[in-house]
Amino acid sequence: MNQASTMPPKSGINPVTPPKKSMLRNQRKMAPWFFLAPGILMFLVFVISPIFQSLWISFYEWDGLGEKTWLGLANYLELFDDENFFISLKNNIIWLVLYMLAPPIGLAIALMLNQTVFGIRLYKSLFFFPFVISQVVVGLVFAWFYDPSYGLLNVVITSFGFEPIAVLADERFVTYGIIVAGLWPQVAYCMILYLTGLNNVAADQIEAARLDNAKGWKMLWYIIIPQLRPATFIAVVVTVIGALRSFDLVSIMTSGGPYGSSRVLSYYMYETALSEYGYRMGYGAAIAVVLFAIMMLFITGFIWKMIRDERG
Amino acid sequence: MKPKFFKTLLAASAVLIASTGMAEQRTLTINTDTSDPAPKAAFEQLIADFEAANPDVKVDWNLFDHEGYKTSIRNFLTAEAPDLANWYAGNRMAPFVEADLFEDVSDVWAENNLSEQLGSALPSMTINGKQWGVPYTYYQWGVYYRKDIFAEKGIEVPKTWDEFLAACAKLKEDGVTPITIGSKYLWTAGGWFDYLNLRVNGYDYHMKLTSGEASYADPEVGKVFDAWDQLTTNDYFLENHAAFSWQEALAPMVQGKAAMYLMGNFAVAPLKEAGLTDETLGFFPFPEITPGLPAAEDAPTDTIHIPANAKNKEDAKKFLAFLATAEQQSKINAELGQLPVNKNSTVPEDPFLAQGFELLSNAKGLAQFYDRDAPAEMAKAGMEGFQEYMVKPERREAIIKRLAKIEKKVFKK
Domains of chain A plus CATH, in order, are 22-51 (no CATH), 70-311 (1.10.3720.10)
B244 and B342 in a common domain: no
CB-side neighbour CA atoms (13 Å) of B108: 27
Query: Please, what sign has the CA dihedral across residues A153, A156, A158, A161?
Result: negative
Kindly state whether residue B11 falls inside one of the protein's structural domains. Answer: no
pLDDT classification of B286: cutoffs 50, 70, 90 = very high
Structural domains counted in chain B: 2
**Minimal CA separation from B371 to chain A, in Å:** 8
B318 and B206 in a common domain: no
The C-alpha angle with vertex B121 and arms to B115 and B125, in degrees rounded to 5, equals 85
Backbone angles phi, psi at B102, to 5 degrees: -105, 145
Kindly state whether residue B252 falls inside one of the protein's structural domains. Answer: yes
The pTM for the full model equals 0.81
A-B contacts (CB, under 8 Å) = 71
B258 and B160 in a common domain: yes
B314 and B181 in a common domain: no
pLDDT of residue A310: 82
pLDDT of residue B260: 96
Kindly state whether residue B178 falls inside one of the protein's structural domains. Answer: yes
Q: What tens digit of pLDDT does each residue of B294-311 get?
A: 999 999 999 999 999 999
Which residues, in sequence order, are CB contacts of A268 under 8 Å at separation 6+? A84, A85, A88, A256, A287
**Any A CB within 8 A of B33 CB:** no
Q: What tens digit of pLDDT does each residue of B255-282 get?
A: 999 999 999 998 998 999 999 999 999 9
B279 and B200 in a common domain: yes
Of B74, B243, B387, the CB nearest to A259: B387
**Any A CB within 8 A of B98 CB:** yes
B187 and B169 in a common domain: yes
pLDDT of residue B71: 81
CATH of the domain at B186: 3.40.190.10
DSSP secondary structure letters along A4-38 = HHHSPPPTTS----PPPHHHHHHHHHHHHHHHHHH
Minimum Cα–Cα distance from A164: chain B residue: B240
| Domain span holding position B66 | 24-138+301-367
Of B101, B242, B402, the CB nearest to A257: B242
Inter-CA distances, B155 with B166, B284, B285, Å:
9, 13, 16
Chain A interface test: which of B181, B248, B380, B401 (most A C-beta within 10 Å): B380
Kindly state whether residue B2 falls inside one of the protein's structural domains. Answer: no
Please identify every stretch of chain A with a pLDDT value under 70, giving residue numbers as ranges: 1-24, 312
Judging contacts by C-beta atoms under 8 Å, the chain A residues touching residue B98 are: 66
**Minimal CA separation from A87 to chain B, in Å:** 14
Predicted ipTM beyond 0.95: no
**Minimal CA separation from B23 to chain A, in Å:** 39
Which residues, in sequence order, are CB contacts of B118 under 8 Å at separation 6+? B109, B125, B134, B135, B324, B341, B342, B343
B206 and B125 in a common domain: no
Kindly state whether residue B182 falls inside one of the protein's structural domains. Answer: yes
Q: How many residues does chain B have?
A: 413
Q: What tens digit of pLDDT does each residue of B24-57 get?
A: 789 999 999 988 888 899 999 999 999 999 999 9
**Minimal CA separation from A168 to chain B, in Å:** 6
User: Rounded CA gap, A147 and B118, in Å?
Assistant: 45
pLDDT of residue A201: 87
Kindly state whether residue B243 falls inside one of the protein's structural domains. Answer: yes
Q: What tens digit of pLDDT does each residue of B166-206 get?
A: 999 999 999 999 999 999 889 999 999 999 999 999 998 99
Beta bridge partners of B288: B160
pLDDT classification of B22: cutoffs 50, 70, 90 = very low
The H-or-E segment that residue A242 falls in is helix A229-244
B342 and B315 in a common domain: yes
User: Rounded CA gap, A36 and A30, in Å?
Assistant: 10
Kindly state whether residue B14 falls inside one of the protein's structural domains. Answer: no
Kindly state whether residue B1 falls inside one of the protein's structural domains. Answer: no
pLDDT of residue A18: 59
Q: What tens digit of pLDDT does each residue of B117-129 get?
A: 888 888 889 889 9
pLDDT of residue B281: 95
B260 and B164 in a common domain: yes
Of A207, A208, A205, A198, nearest to A229 (Cα)?
A198
* Cβ <8 Å between A276 and B186: no
pLDDT of residue B21: 41
Do residues B262 and B158 touch, judged by C-beta distance below 8 A?
Answer: no
User: Rounded CA gap, B77 and B73, in Å?
Assistant: 6
**Minimal CA separation from B118 to chain A, in Å:** 28
B193 and B68 in a common domain: no
Q: What is the dihedral of CA A44, A48, A49, A51, to 10 degrees?
A: 170
pLDDT of residue B17: 45
**Any A CB within 8 A of B268 CB:** no
B227 and B124 in a common domain: no
B159 and B124 in a common domain: no
Checking if the pLDDT of B248 tops 80, the result is yes
DSSP B288: B
